[in-house]
Structure 1
Amino acid sequence: MIRSTFAASAALLTLAAGAMPASAQEKTLTISVYAFAQDAYNRILYKPFEEKCGCKLVVETGNSAERLAKMEANKNAPVVDMAVMSMADALTAARRGLVQKIDTSKLDNYDKLYDLAKDPNGDGMSVGYTFYATSIAYRSDKMDIKSWQDLLSDKVVGNIAFPNISTNQGPPALYMLGLSMGTNAPDLKKPIEAVGKHAGDIVTFYNRSSQLVQLFQQGEIWAAPIGRFAWEPISKLGLPIKWAKPKEGQTGGLNVMVVSKGTKNEDLALEFMDFWLSTKVQKDLADALVDSPANKEVKVSDDVAANITYGAETAKNLKLIPAKVDLENRDRWLKEWNADVAQ
């Protein structure tokens, strides 16, 4: 940089000053992420990365489907360098040519990940950064949960909420209900029919997990399938509510990172991804109850572990619906649901 004490000409100063914005623009990374917990992400992830790389992060927020649509609308001139989304949306993005293979040789923290996060869709196009379990929150003073099928027992079904088929929790909960009934058919026909038979008894088919807090608080429900990310506010209601560990196991979900095809900032995107997967960042996000760590080196306290999805045994035993199965059956699930449940 040319300093004024050198008595340089105004023309040279103008040229020097004009060169800096161009250089700064080359070190700008645009990311698209979920909207929740942005204050924590800014403190734990964004600002420390900017300090480390000497670059600027431009952060766009929205849900997974919204960012997928935006990436497709800008396919020929990507406006986002890196994004996070669900496994199914990541597979859709890969099939539509919106993302590119991830060079994992440039990710120093890749080998620290649980196996389920390393290449979740089996196409090399995504890397998992957080996962969550889905089980049943239930009033232990009113009932006991030993199986997913307990939700539909005559003594309980009139006091439960069940996730709508259109939510992220709907298909996984139905899949586990099917396992409890002796079927793992991807069409979910048998568990949907079972829910349909009790549709008039079930308190509500919820669309947002935030609805469950008030329903539990007011005593309107005794149980509901939920994702672990929704557990903390329910656990703090001061009621005898437990997290079930049914004999069929727990299901859940995995959120992944992708790199936009044609980005001019591939190396910077990979540097950011690697920073996000680092042990320190993953631990700090876990301690803040923001993300459950995909990095297997992360160690947390018992109190934190009780409020997130944590540990090698949990990661190993989660029964996730493969993204391919999700995409190939969504229309069928909705058709069956509308016929048997939403009629």
Structure 2
Amino acid sequence: MLALGGAVPASAFAETLIVNSYGGPYEAIIEERIIKPFEEKYGVDVIYDAVGSASQDYAKIKATRGQPGFDVAVMTASQSLQGCKDRLLEKLDTVAVPNLGKLEPTLAAVAGPCGAVHEVQYLALLYRTDKLALAPTSWSSLFDPQLDGKIVLPTFQNVMAVFLLEIMSVMRGGDMIDNIEPGFAAMAELSRQSIGFEQSSAILESYIKDGTVWAMPFWNGRAQLLVDQGLPVDYIRPKEGTIPLIATLNVPVGAQNKKAALAFIDFFLEKSSQEAWVTGYQVGSARTDIEIPVDVRKRQITSKADLDGLKLPDLSRIADKLSEWGERWERDVVSQAN
């Protein structure tokens, strides 16, 4: 692997780098805050491939045996762990990516050795400020009778559903893996309040934007973007705590431009880049040394103190449970929807 500790001449890299990630607001922000500055620094032309979700991207990596046609994939810690297990993603270290050493170890560990944590979001409770007289404080607010027919839930294919199941289990006396029964009972009850289930975050947010839905679980970064658009919405980190969504940068083993890929990852993890990304995309960071405005910091995960309210998922054990839980979700939860 290429060591990036000192100055690296542009000639050391390929002329192009293919980065696979998301479309929508994400694409515009990453182009402005990360990709253009990287291109200017290294003289590399970045081709942005905004196709597929994290799970779909990893499915392509797996189907092509690590040669998906892109050099960097933006995924989540779940795919990072699976990719390491399948030996389809490159392992990363501080020799190749020096800024890995600047990440908070607890969060970095969740992603395993193949993922570089470039952002942290958390499952928040998003609600309409013009529909609810009082701001919610707890996940239990979703069970309020006034929200009957006014919430929407994610499908089980969206990890948001898995995290919500675990949160509900803990809230009702169970745990996040071995005693999940209280979670299924709670979700069956909550399903009866719901108008249905959607997998796409874009579709989920459309319901609350048009007022069909008054409250729902949602990633806090995307929730903040809605707030910034001036919509009558807000979000909370409920008092019972929440689970983080840890996003990663990964390099497939068959990537054609690995040196440039490692340079891109290290650049994304630089202090100034993380500051630009956190303030642009309204997410948290695994770097606790970044300097950002107070109003941004108070709503994001950016310090060791913020970890106190987080329930870190055991993603490897969750992966072993997904098939069983997915069947139960369809049988016991979806069947109860209005």
Give the TM-score, by structure 2 length: 0.82
Counterpart secondary structure, 2:74? strand
Equivalent residue, structure 2, for 1:61: 50
Query: Is 1:103 the counterpart of 2:75 in the alignment?
Result: no
1:35 corresponding residue in structure 2: 23
> How far 1:194 sits from its partner (Å)?
2.3
* Residue type of the alignment partner of 2:23: A
Of 317, 325, 329 in structure 1, the residue corresponding to residue 317 of structure 2 is 325
Matches within 5 A, 1:205-284: 205-211=197-203, 213-216=205-208, 219-235=211-227, 236-237=229-230, 239=232, 241-263=233-255, 265-284=257-276
Partner secondary structure for residue 99 of structure 1: coil
Aligned equivalent of 1:204: 196
Q: Deviations over 1:136-161 (max 9, x none)?
A: 12356434534323322445455333
Which residues of structure 1 form unaligned runs of 5+? 1-22
SS in 1 for 2:201: coil
Could you give the per-residue CA deviations for residues 173-205 of structure 1, whole angstroms, max 9, x where no partner exists?
A: 121111110111426332222222343332333
* Contact 1:143/1:156 (<8 A) preserved: no
Q: 1:266: how far off?
A: 3.1
**Could you tell me which of 133, 137, 158 is aligned with 1:167?**
158
RMSD in angstroms over aligned alpha carbons?
2.8
CA distance in 2, matches of 1:252, 1:130: 10
Verify: 1:116 aligned to 2:109, yes or no. Answer: no
Task: Specify the code of the residue in structure 2 equivalent to 1:342.
Answer: V
Percent identical residues: 23
Structure 1 residues 244 and 82 mapped into 2: Cα distance closer, same or farther (>3 Å)? closer
Whichever of the two has the greater Rg, that structure is 1
User: Is 1:147 aligned with 2:138?
Assistant: yes
| Alpha-carbon distance in structure 1 between the residues aligned to 2:14 and 2:198 | 45
Structure 2 residue aligned with 1:184: 175
Distance change >3 Å, CA 198–CA 312, structure 1 → 2: closer
Cα deviation, residue 256, structure 1: 1.0
Stretches of structure 2 that go unaligned for 5 or more consecutive residues are: 1-10
Helix, strand or coil at the partner of 2:58: helix
Question: Which whole-Å deviations, capped at 9, do the CAs of 1:179-234 have from their partners, x for residues lacking one?
Answer: 11011142633222222234333233343334455544554433211111221354
TM normalised by structure 1 equals 0.81
Q: CA deviation at 1:50?
A: 2.0
Partner of 1:45: 34
Q: Measure the CA separation in 1 of the matches of 2:298 and 2:212.
A: 25
CA distance in 2, matches of 1:326, 1:109: 29
